[in-house]
């Protein structure tokens, strides 16, 4: 397996920056959602809006919620207030004591218009939405509206026997949340090339807290609307706004961690201990291998951190290793560098797991031992060796020789499973490269 085209480092930058993978699930979702929204809007305009005051109030709330959308770790975009408002409008049975009669078509039309209006300011200032996430939010409301609104005529919160209606709302919220997690997992699996079961599990863990908060708020808005009218929108979106601020701060902390780690990883490059871009290339390759081996999102994040800082122990060297290629250093020197790097990382007090991955990155693979190196350490070992020996070279024979060398040392020095995963990643890059025409990996 050999590579043609741009240097390997450039190839990985292009691949991860632009996302060359054809995301068929996302494209299909966008098309279906857009068609349903367009038909709903046309039908509603032709037949007229029922209870226009309520429609306007919810539409404004959804627009403001989209304007205040937030980005969560893992490239996830959510709009808690907009989603809660959309759910509330879907479940709305009465407003200030008066029964509402809007149908599913109108729900979809109002939500779609609110989302579009909320996205316009972002687009104006050059922050386009993630169309896949936007389509998911609207698609879930389309399902929810078509499932609930036909039942609305038989439900009345003023009735003493209103518990069945609440139960139906709760079941539908859980059902559409699971559907949303499946869709998000399918899109994520397609983008990262990881198994669907792993992506689905990651989505469940990442969105269960905010998903339940959104669903509960939407149900409360709908039920409170029967007593308080439109004023319920203000009362019950306030707690969700506080929750959204907390999630935003959490995302900012995660982003600060990553930026700090990236800055720390560049110290070895600035000091001339490793080649420029080495840590980033190893991190990206390790990420791809981790996804290929079905690692959880939290494990992949720790793997990225460790891969970025895997060479930080070289700062203790009196004389830098030529080109920073630790794979060419004596085993004793490799272990010393890993130990010192782990000690530096442990000083942060919050990255102990990352420090352990760095500490054991040089341990040889031995499947018979009672305590083999963690999978993350084995991945870093393979990714680092590959980039140490290849770097940004475009020489075909050199790359072929490196892949074969890793294979020959599998079982004694490198984990065969990791090496095979590396080969699959490179083979996939060949296929994607041939389709996009930007670079190729030739067998």
The counts of H helices and E strands in the chain are: 17, 6
CA distances from 397 to 7, 8, 281, 327, 442 (A): 14, 14, 20, 19, 12
Neighbouring-strand partners of residue 414 = 410
Return the exposure string of 259-278: e unless at least 16 CB atoms fall within 10 Å of the residue's CB, then b.
Answer: eebbebbbbbbeeebbbebb
- What pLDDT is recorded for position 156? 63
**What percent of the chain shows pLDDT beyond 70?**
86
**Judging by beta carbons within 10 Å of its beta carbon (0-12, 13-18, 19+), is residue 125 exposed, middle or buried?**
exposed
- Rounded mean pLDDT, 34-46: 95
Question: What's the rounded Cα separation, in Å, for the pair 412 and 402?
Answer: 16
- Rounded mean pLDDT, 323-334: 80
Question: What's the rounded Cα separation, in Å, for the pair 264 and 283?
Answer: 14
CB 288 within 8 A of CB 13: no
Give the orientation angle of helix 231-265 with respect to helix 196-228, to 10 degrees: 150
* Model confidence pLDDT, tens digit, residues 5-20: 334 433 443 344 334 4
Return the exposure string of 209-241: e unless at least 16 CB atoms fall within 10 Å of the residue's CB, then b.
Answer: ebbebbbbbbbbbbbbbbebbeebbeebbeebe
Question: What's the rounded Cα separation, in Å, for the pair 386 and 43?
Answer: 59
* Model confidence pLDDT, tens digit, residues 64-76: 989 888 887 778 8
Give the orientation angle of helix 375-390 with respect to helix 396-408, to 10 degrees: 150
> What Rg value do the Cα atoms of the chain yield, rounded?
26
The enclosing H or E element of 441 equals strand 439-442
Question: What's the rounded Cα separation, in Å, for the pair 144 and 147?
Answer: 5
CB 219 within 8 A of CB 197: no
Chain centroid to CA 315: 33
- What pLDDT is recorded for position 369? 72
Tell me 69's DSSP state.
-
**What percent of the chain shows pLDDT beyond 90?**
32
Segments of 266-408 assigned E as strands: none
- What pLDDT is recorded for position 185? 92
- What pLDDT is recorded for position 62? 93
CB 14 within 8 A of CB 438: yes
- What pLDDT is recorded for position 96? 67
Domain range annotation of the chain: 2-11+266-442, 49-253
Specify which of 144-158, 185-199, 362-376 reaches the highest per-range mean pLDDT.
185-199
Pairing label, strands 76-78, 94-95: unpaired
**Judging by beta carbons within 10 Å of its beta carbon (0-12, 13-18, 19+), is residue 28 exposed, middle or buried?**
exposed
Question: What's the rounded Cα separation, in Å, for the pair 342 and 359?
Answer: 5
Which CATH code for domain 2-11+266-442?
A: 1.10.3210.10
Q: Which of 293, 331, 289, 287 is nearest to 306 (CA)?
A: 287
| pLDDT averaged over every residue in the chain | 82
CA distances from 260 to 151, 308, 316 (A): 52, 11, 20
- Rounded mean pLDDT, 32-42: 95
Return the exposure string of 128-148: e unless at least 16 CB atoms fall within 10 Å of the residue's CB, then b.
Answer: ebeebbbbbbbbbbbbbbbbb
* Model confidence pLDDT, tens digit, residues 375-422: 999 999 999 999 988 877 666 677 778 888 888 888 788 999 999 998
Which CATH code for domain 49-253?
A: 1.10.1760
**pLDDT grade for 431, boundaries at 50, 70 and 90:** low
Question: What's the rounded Cα separation, in Å, for the pair 167 and 173?
Answer: 10
């Amino acid at each position: 397996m050999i590579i043609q085209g741009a240097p390997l480092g450039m190839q990985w930058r292009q691949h991860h920056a632009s996302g060359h993978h054809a995301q068929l699930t996302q494209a299909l979702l966008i098309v279906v959602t857009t068609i349903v929204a367009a038909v709903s809007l046309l039908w509603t305009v032709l037949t007229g809006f029922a209870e226009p005051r309520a429609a306007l109030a919810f539409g404004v709330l959804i627009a403001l919620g989209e304007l205040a959308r937030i980005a969560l770790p893992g490239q996830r975009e959510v709009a808690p207030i907009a989603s809660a408002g959309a759910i509330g409008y879907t479940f709305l049975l009465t407003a200030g004591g008066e029964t509402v009669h809007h149908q599913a078509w109108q729900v979809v039309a109002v939500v779609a218009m609110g989302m579009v209006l909320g996205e316009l300011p972002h687009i104006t200032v050059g922050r386009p939405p993630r169309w896949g996430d936007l389509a998911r939010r609207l698609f879930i409301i389309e399902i929810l509206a078509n499932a609930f609104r036909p039942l609305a005529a038989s439900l009345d919160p003023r009735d003493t026997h209103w518990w069945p209606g609440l139960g139906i709302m709760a079941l539908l919220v859980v059902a559409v949340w699971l559907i949303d997690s499946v869709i998000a997992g399918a899109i994520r699996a397609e983008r990262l090339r990881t198994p669907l079961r792993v992506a689905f599990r990651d989505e469940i863990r990442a969105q269960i807290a905010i998903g339940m908060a959104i669903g509960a708020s939407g149900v409360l808005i709908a039920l409170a609307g029967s007593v308080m009218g439109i004023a319920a929108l203000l009362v019950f979106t306030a707690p969700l706004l506080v929750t959204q601020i907390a999630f935003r701060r959490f995302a900012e902390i995660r982003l600060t961690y990553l930026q700090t780690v990236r800055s720390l990883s560049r110290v070895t490059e600035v000091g001339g201990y490793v080649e420029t871009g080495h840590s980033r290339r190893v991190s990206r390759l390790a990420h791809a291998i981790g996804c290929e081996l079905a690692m959880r999102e939290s494990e992949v994040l720790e793997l990225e951190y460790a891969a970025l800082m895997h060479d930080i122990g070289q700062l203790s060297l009196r004389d830098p290793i030529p080109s920073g290629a630790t794979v060419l250093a004596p085993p004793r020197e490799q272990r010393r560098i890993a130990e010192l790097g782990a000690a530096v990382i442990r000083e942060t007090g919050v990255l102990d797991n990352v420090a352990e991955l760095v500490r054991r990155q040089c341990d040889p693979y031995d499947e018979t031992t009672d305590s083999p190196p963690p999978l993350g350490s084995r991945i870093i070992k393979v990714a680092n060796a590959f980039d140490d020996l290849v770097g940004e070279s475009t020489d075909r024979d050199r790359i072929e020789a490196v892949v074969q060398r890793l294979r020959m040392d599998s079982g004694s020095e490198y984990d065969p499973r990791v090496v095979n995963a590396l080969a699959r990643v490179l083979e996939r890059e060949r296929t994607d490269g041939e389709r996009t025409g930007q670079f190729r990996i030739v067998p």
